A and B are shown apart, each in its own frame.
Chain A
Amino acid sequence: MRHLIRAEWTKVRTVPGWTIAVLLSVLATIGLGVLTAAGNHSSCGGASTVCPPPPLGPDGTAVDDHFFFVHRALAGDGSITVRLSSMTGQRRLPDATPGVRRVASGLVPWAKAGIMVKDGTRPGASYAALMATGTHGVRLQYDFSHDVPGSASRVGAGTPCWLRLVRTGRHLTGYESADGHRWTRVGTASLPGLPTRVQIGLFAASPGALRVARADLGGSVETISFSSTTARFDHVGLDGTATGGWHRTDVGATVDPDGSVHHPGSARWSAGRYTVTGVGDIAPRVDGMTVEKTLSGLLVGLLIVIVVAAGFVAAEYRTGLVRTTLTTDPRRGRVLGAKAVVLAGTAFVAGLAATAATLPIGTHVLRANRNTVLPVDTLSVLRIVVGTGLLVALIAVLVLALATLLRRASAAIAAGVALVLVPRILATTSVLPDSAAQWVLRLTPAAGFAIQQSIPTYRQVTAHLVPQAGYYPLPPWAGLAVTAGYAAVALLLAVVVLRRRDA
């Protein structure tokens, strides 16, 4: 096998056209990625036109952190218990008459109201919150990306919801109850950086109302309109060393140029009854550019790799060299295996190099053009770089197998493009309906592109997380496993056919 691999490697490197093509695929990926990045500019209203950077959560991810907080300072351990007696909301509708506001009542699905412990009031600060939602029941959410479901109960007239959040050191445990007597534990949050002194209190938030409509050419169009949530609390009980009185903070609110708060929240209380109205959301941010946007040129790079992979086998069939190859070792499975190893290795290095260069350069250019690029941790970047290398390698092996089965470069290239590039393009541009696009990215070898998704598909976020927006239906490695499955099955089939067929 070692000899065969060495022989196949010699074959690859001694055809100048292939060497040039592989280098070209790397350069095309980098070049097109940087070009795309260079063409993206962002500016925001205001004096400086520079868009404010999004707040970062404790783990460095970009977050939305906008809500109305009624809070007191708590030193050390303690707890808060409330009865959430009602939760109502308003959504703004498109103007029928210009300038005349129309509103409808009702909660948005991820309307949030409940109790919170937070490391101060700075947007992005560590927190744990126990809340009732519009349609997603009771949840314990913490540090933006964590979401633990509780009961499915909804707060309405006559059906209040009791919530309790207990702080013990860095652990926060949420309990819920329908009557204030029998309590059910929802979950425990662990907040590693939580200081002794925290803010504890009541909050309300309301993400924009999302409406998704079918676009004319397939895909979808999203509109988000302003919404607010008003929550009424009573039976508010605070245990522990609380200092000072209740404060109101419109956390993360945008201040207009004239100094007034844009869409302010509010709170009032009397006789132990608290009414809190909030807008905004507390969640990971998915609105912004992702680092993988800079990898758009990979499709061109892949096309070149597909051509090389097809030619690597089909050229031997065209010239008859395949007979010479098969006389060097009659064990044909090993011969094809050696070819696959060499091609996969070459494609992996090319894909890895292209991605490793494109991501930092492209992201740098995007940021230089004042775009908001959602930050990604090192491990995810590593996963994207290595994963893209693997993706390119797997696609190369798939096409190698196809070329062995079809024995013609043109047919293998067409099949490779049809199986990988076409599904990917159809699913991520606004051509297919969303559900069709998701199925395409579950069932075709294009599923492997999921390995490039840098921001997870959070279920607790109000956004239309579809392939068109860069959100894949499968987790990264599961998507890559689908592509690997295709490559493995195709290679196995190619070995069987190659063994049986006269050369």
Chain B
Amino acid sequence: MDNATIEVSGLRKRFGPTVALDGMSFTVQPGRVTGFVGPNGAGKSTTMRVVLGLDTADAGTALVGGRPYRQLRTPLRQVGALLDANAVQPSRSARNHLLWLAHSQGIGRARVDTVLGQVGLAAVARRRAGGFSLGMRQRLGIAAALLGDPPILLLDEPVNGLDPEGVIWIRGLLRSLAAEGRAVLVSSHLMSELQDTADQLVVVGRGRVIADANVTELLAAAARGRVVVRTRAPETARTELLRAGATATVTGPDTLDVAGPSAERVVALLTAGRVPVAEVSAYQASLEEAYLTLTRDAVEFQAGQVAR
């Protein structure tokens, strides 16, 4: 596959009176993790099903590597997907689940054992998948997605049910998959899950894209160059900074946010005013804040639908 991309363009789909997709358009680039964020019901899973050729859109196109999924002949070698971790036959063992998938693509048994090891299920490979915890099933689903060593990956809520160790593991995995040049699309309804993982963020609501932005730029924009000051005398510091023309807000018993001057200038101002300073640092916006910044102007996006 020459171009490991997912190109979604103008997808529309109705389920009876409900509009599921309303002109969904975005592109997933290789070499980065693209977060696919939005509240439940925003159309994330439907989009993924359309991309995988499972659902038919009323209008629009979805291409993987430049082709519709339905034209692929050994699709798992090109696109790996995790849609629903619970989609396993409960009495079939993890290994056999991967084995039939491997056979369907002409992939050998050795690869099954490789991916089982990669997701940390080697020890329980012969146990029935029905006895697995949600976290183990997520790992099994990820193993299935990795089976064909595909350049494109679609993972629907893969962090769901993982324990903290698993969350750290999957972040590392996603980052390394992207570092290998793969296109990785990860959906989540929780912005925090994508913190420190996603390079690109596609925010959706009501079946369409609200924002599509680079995370680094996004965080910088959300921080707006603010500086955080920790001091024993926040009120004094605030007065001192206001006098210099900066905007300063006391945010805690010993902290204040400063907008306007750079960190060096803040230090200089406070030192000159003899205000005791414990710490001065660049403001780190959270992804939630970035998200709120992004969606603030989205008219369609109303309260009550806001992602947590």
Contact = CB atoms under 8 A, between A and B. Distances in A.
A15 B101 contact: no
Interface stretch (A207-215, A324-332, A386-394, A429-437): A324-332
Contacts of B99: 10, 14
A324 B101 contact: yes
Contacts of B144: 324
B16 to A, nearest CB: 12
A315 interface: yes
A323 B101 contact: no
A279 B71 CA distance: 77
Interface in A302-327: 315-316, 319-321, 323-324, 326-327
State the main secondary structure of chain A at its contact with B: helix
A328 B83 contact: no
A14 B93 contact: yes
A329 B84 contact: no
Interface in B47-90: 49, 52-56, 69-76, 79, 81, 83-84, 86-90
Contact of A503 (B55, B79, B91, B96): B55
Given A330-B70, A330-B75, A320 B87 contact: yes
Contacts of A323: 49, 52, 54, 83-84, 87
B265 interface: no
A17 interface: yes
Given A319-B90, A323-B54, A330 B100 contact: no
Nearest to A14: B96
B55 A327 contact: no
Nearest to A331: B70
A15 B91 contact: yes
Contacts of B106: 3
A345 to B, nearest CB: 16
B248 to A, nearest CB: 54
A17 to B, nearest CB: 6
A450 to B, nearest CB: 37
A320 B85 CA distance: 9
B99 to A, nearest CB: 6
A99 B71 CA distance: 87
Interface in B92-127: 92-93, 96-97, 99-101, 103-106
Most buried by A among B55, B56, B83, B89: B89
A24 interface: no
A28 B49 CA distance: 43
Contacts of A315: 89
A14 B92 contact: yes
A235 interface: no
A253 interface: no
A257 interface: no
A327 B53 contact: yes
A315 B129 CA distance: 14
B155 to A, nearest CB: 13
A319 B97 CA distance: 13
Nearest to B69: A330
B104 A3 contact: yes
Contacts of A328: 75-76, 101, 104-105
A45 interface: no
A502 interface: yes
A17 B299 CA distance: 54
A6 interface: yes
Nearest to B106: A3
B86 A502 contact: no
Nearest to B81: A327
A10 B103 contact: yes
Contacts of B52: 323, 327
Nearest to A316: B89
A14 B97 CA distance: 8
B54 A326 contact: yes
A229 B264 CA distance: 130
B126 to A, nearest CB: 11
A192 interface: no
Interface string A1-26: 00110111011001111000000000
B89 A329 contact: no
A375 to B, nearest CB: 46
Contacts of A321: 87-89
A16 B127 CA distance: 12
Contact of B83 (A8, A14, A324): A324
Contact of A319 (B69, B75, B88): B88
Top-3 shortest CB links A-B: A7-B104, A320-B87, A14-B96
Interface of B: 49, 52-56, 69-76, 79, 81, 83-84, 86-93, 96-97, 99-101, 103-106, 144
18 contacts: A8-B100, A11-B89, A11-B92, A14-B100, A15-B92, A320-B83, A321-B88, A321-B89, A323-B84, A327-B52, A327-B75, A327-B76, A327-B79, A328-B76, A328-B101, A329-B104, A330-B53, A502-B54
Given A3-B105, A10-B103, A502-B54, 12 more contacts: A6-B104, A16-B91, A315-B89, A319-B86, A323-B83, A323-B84, A324-B87, A327-B52, A327-B75, A329-B75, A502-B56, A503-B49
